[in-house]
Structure 1
Amino acid sequence: MNKRIKITISTLLTTIMLLTFIYVRPTLAAPSHEESQILQDSLSIVEIDHEIERISQEQHTLLQRQQELRSNLTVQQEQMTIQRKRAGSVLRSYYMGERDKLLSVVLGAKSIRQLLSLYDYYLLLINHDQDVLQEYESNYQSMRKTEQQVTQASMELETVKTNLLAQRKRIALLQSRVNDGVNASNDPDTLRKLIGEMTAYWENVGVYEVNKHFKALAQAMQNLPQFIQQQQGAMVTNGKVITISIREEDFNRFLKSENELFNHFNFTFAQDRIVVEGQQGTMKLRVEGHYTLENEPKNAILFHVDRLVFNGLELPDTTRNKLEKDFDLGFYPQQLISYVKATEVRTLAGMLEVKLELNFK
């Protein structure tokens, strides 16, 4: 069996698995409000557990970096002790006037040949002195930088440890709540089965589908500046201020033209928020978010996920934060016009509005 056939079979198996999960959803009766809360808590446990794994790995990486930095700092401090002695010797020679005496000897040479020889030696010594002092300064700055890095790594490590403890406490409380809810249920075994099915459905289909849609949206946003330029009346200039107005129906049309995935979803602009809602197969997704204006590290309008609801179950902040980190849904005005800076963004009923100012700095 050649490599191409193996790859094809592997792809087919993966596709069959996904289709199976998509079209064979949990067949149990619709859960009650209490059961839905238990299911939501169960999904939160799964997602927070992934976050704990990520934080633990980050903690391990930071700990290794901290140890490496401290080891480097010890070596640098030992080198600095040697360099400090050499630099001190050079500085004392100038303070005691030894270089002045040598210069007097050079100037007192009795022949041109002797003068040139002494002068070459004098320059060689002075250049060596400068090299010693420069090396000391360079090593000193390097050591100071390493000390700052050790301090920064220590602070980051403490933050990560605190976050890890908080997430572990959070998952323990959720697990306790789920256990209490299952035990209080009229049919604990059925509820456990539903939890297992919904968890498997999320991990095998939900994560894949949500990531796929966010990736498609991130790719589409890269072409938004070009779309705006093509829309007559979308940009209005008043002196140094440029106002971009994107209508809800135009934005939906733009996304559908970018990727057929968005044929099943609708974007709604409301007061200070954006709502994305739709269904594909057995997957129902609702995303609520908002834009903020940021100037660091560069001027940008960034999208933040406030709520993420999958098949009626709201996922925790750890999932939302990961999506924001993995997929850039931002809008960068300088991709539209290089000499502008965004100064305001707001969403109104049916409209997204961005204000730009000319900026030639």
Structure 2
Amino acid sequence: MFHRTLKLWISAALLAASICTPALTLADPDSDETQKVLEKSLSVVEIDREIAKIEQQQQQLEQSIEENTSRLQIQEHDIVTAKQQAGERIRAYYMGEREDLLGSLLSVKNFHDFLTVVDYISLIFERDQEIIGTYQQAYTKLKQNKQQLDKMSADLVKTKTDLQSEKARVVALQEEVDRSVASSKDPEKLKQMIDELGTFWNDVGLAEVRKYFKALDQAMKDFPDYVEQYNGSLATNGLNYTLTIKEENLNAFLRSKNALFNNFSFHFQSDQVIAEGQEGDLKLRLEGHYTVTDNPKNAIIFHVDKLVFNGLTLPDTTAKELEQDFDLGFYPQQMMPFIKATSVELEPQLMTVKLKLAL
């Protein structure tokens, strides 16, 4: 399935052998130390990637703020003119200028002239209202854009804080890796393993992990099909409903959606979900849990607690990114619009979702 270069496969095999063979000890006191170094080196790679994303977000925010500030300056200039015009119209009502028009209306001597004056007054009033309305709309838009600019500025402050935090984090990790490499029995060999791991992850690993998450995302969009396929999974008791999801049924459902899950399985434990699989030399383990949310709509959301690739724990930045990019939850109202989830419970081999009528 993986159409990659032979060199990458060889690197993968060497890496797997290096990690899994107890006889190869590159760092004191044992191979567990090597495993930790490789995990930290992979975390450095991933946090560096997260830093690049944050830097891009910062640039986009700064550009948006600059563009928005320019628009606000133009709007503020336009609104001064609109305000002056609106003020003149409003003052006219209170300074008696409109009374002359009413006097003209009362002084006409025939019905035809009366209609002509009425039409003229109507046009003037309509124009006045249009100018006043233009000012009100411009003022409302100006306030909205200022609020948007304030939000962007706050987001930029947070982004800069996150960037500083991640940079400090990656520097500390890199220092740990460098110290571990320097103190190992074979620094050159360990450094080679770190380089091969980084190359393999960037060229193959990340794409394969995202491929599984994308397949899960697409499969969970069809979750109403699960309820239809296993029609005994939804039970009713008055205004309350119970959805029971058996581990074996969920795995069968996922495999019916994508052959990729033939070597990938979900396991329900107490308050925890574990999904894991292997294809060739690639191993993936996912640990997480579900929660119920009503924002922005009622849903059972999956949270990634831990992600392990080829025995190496990936950093929280990777887990968070995948959780944001792919939706592994499901939405009860896709099954029936009039129900909502209230709780979710996990126990060995079974997940139970409590629902009620959304009155």
Shorter-chain TM range is: over 0.9
1:192-236 alpha-carbon deviations (Å, 9 max, x no partner): 011011111211221121111111111221222212222142111
Equivalent position of 1:222 in the other structure = 221
Alignment-mate amino acid for residue 5 of structure 2: M
Look up the match of 2:209: 210
Contact 1:18 1:205 survives alignment (8 Å): no
Deviation track 1:255-282 (CA, whole Å, cap 9, x = no partner) reads 2222222222221101111011222111
2:97 counterpart residue number: 98
Amino acid at match of 1:127: E
Q: In the aligned structure 2, how far is the partner of 1:205 from the partner of 1:340?
A: 42
In the alignment, is residue 253 of structure 1 matched against residue 241 of structure 2? no
Greater mean deviation of Cα atoms: 116-125 or 151-160 = 116-125
Whether 2:16 is the aligned partner of 1:17: answer: no
- The corresponding residue for 1:286 is 285
2:312: which partner in 1?
A: 313
1:16 shift after superposition: 4.1
Map of 2:295 onto structure 1? 296
> Residue 115 of structure 1 corresponds to which residue in structure 2?
114
Structure 1 residue 50: Cα displacement: 0.7
What's the CA shift string for 1:297-319, capped at 9, x where partnerless? 11111111100011111001111
| 1:53 is aligned to 2:52 | yes
Secondary structure in structure 1 of the residue aligned to 2:76: helix
Q: Deviations over 1:8-39 (max 9, x none)?
A: xxxx9x82427952764425455611111111
Mapped partners of 1:156, 1:20: distance in 2: 40
- 1:33 aligns with 32
* Contact 1:21–1:204 (CA under 8 A) maintained in structure 2: no
| Bigger mean CA offset, 210-219 vs 134-143 | 210-219
Partner amino acid for 2:318? T
CA distance in 1, matches of 2:312, 2:244: 33
Q: Distance in 1 between matches of 2:119 and 2:272?
A: 76
Instruction: Name the CA shift for 1:148/1:16 in 2 (closer, same or farther; >3 Å).
Output: closer
Q: Aligned pair count?
A: 348
Pick which of 245-254 and 314-323 moved more.
245-254
Write out aligned runs for 1:233-252 (5 A): 233-252=232-251
Aligned AA for 1:262? Answer: F
Q: What is the deviation of 1:67?
A: 0.7
Amino acid in the other structure paired with 1:168: K
Deviations 1:179-202 (A, max 9, x none): 111111111101001101111121
Q: 1:264: which partner in 2?
A: 263
User: Per the alignment, in what secondary structure is the counterpart of residue 176 of structure 2?
Assistant: helix
1:231 is matched with which residue?
A: 230
1:78 counterpart residue number: 77
Q: Is the 8 A contact 1:66 1:153 kept in 2?
A: yes
Alignment check: 8 A CA contact 2:273 2:289 kept: yes
Q: Give the letter aligned to residue 187 of structure 1.
A: D
AA matched with 1:90: R
CA distance in 2, matches of 1:129, 1:351: 69
Distance of aligned partners of 1:308 and 1:16 in 2 relative to their CA distance in 1, 3 Å threshold: closer
Measure the CA separation in 2 of the matches of 1:340 and 1:206: 40
Q: Deviations over 1:72-121 (max 9, x none)?
A: 11111101111111111111111112212311221111233332332222
Q: Hey, what does 2:28 align to over in structure 1?
A: none
Amino acid across the alignment from 1:63: E
CA RMSD of aligned residues (A): 1.8
Q: CA 1:266–1:331 in 2, change beyond 3 Å: closer, same or farther?
A: same
How far the C-alpha of 1:350 sits from its partner, in A, is 1.3
Whether the aligned pair in 1 keeps the contact of 2:268 and 2:349 (CA below 8 Å) is yes
Residue 193 (structure 1) aligned with residue 181 (structure 2): no
SS in 1 for 2:351: strand
Q: Is the 8 A contact 2:41 2:174 kept in 1?
A: yes
Shift in Å, 1:171: 0.5
Whether the 8 Å contact between 1:21 and 1:205 is mirrored in structure 2 is no
Provide runs of 4+ in structure 1 moved above 4 Å: none
Q: Secondary structure at the match of 1:357?
A: strand
Q: Judging changes above 3 Å, is the alpha-carbon distance between structure 1 residues 219 and 25 closer, same or farther for their aligned structure 2 residues? A: farther
Normalising by structure 1, we get a TM-score of 0.92
In structure 2, give the amino acid aligned to 1:349. Answer: P
Alignment partners' CA distance in 1, 2:254 and 2:6: 25
Local SS of the residue matching 1:266: strand
What letter matches 1:15 in structure 2? H
Give the percent of matched residue pairs that are identical in Structure 1 and Structure 2: 43
Number of the residue aligned with 1:5: none
Is the 2:300–2:331 contact (alpha carbons within 8 Å) kept by the matching residues of 1? yes
Structure 2 SS opposite 1:245: strand
Deviation at 1:54, TM superposition (A): 0.7
Give me the whole-angstrom Cα distance separating, in 2, the residues matched to 1:226 and 1:138. Answer: 48
- Matches of 1:146 and 1:43 in 2, distance apart? 42
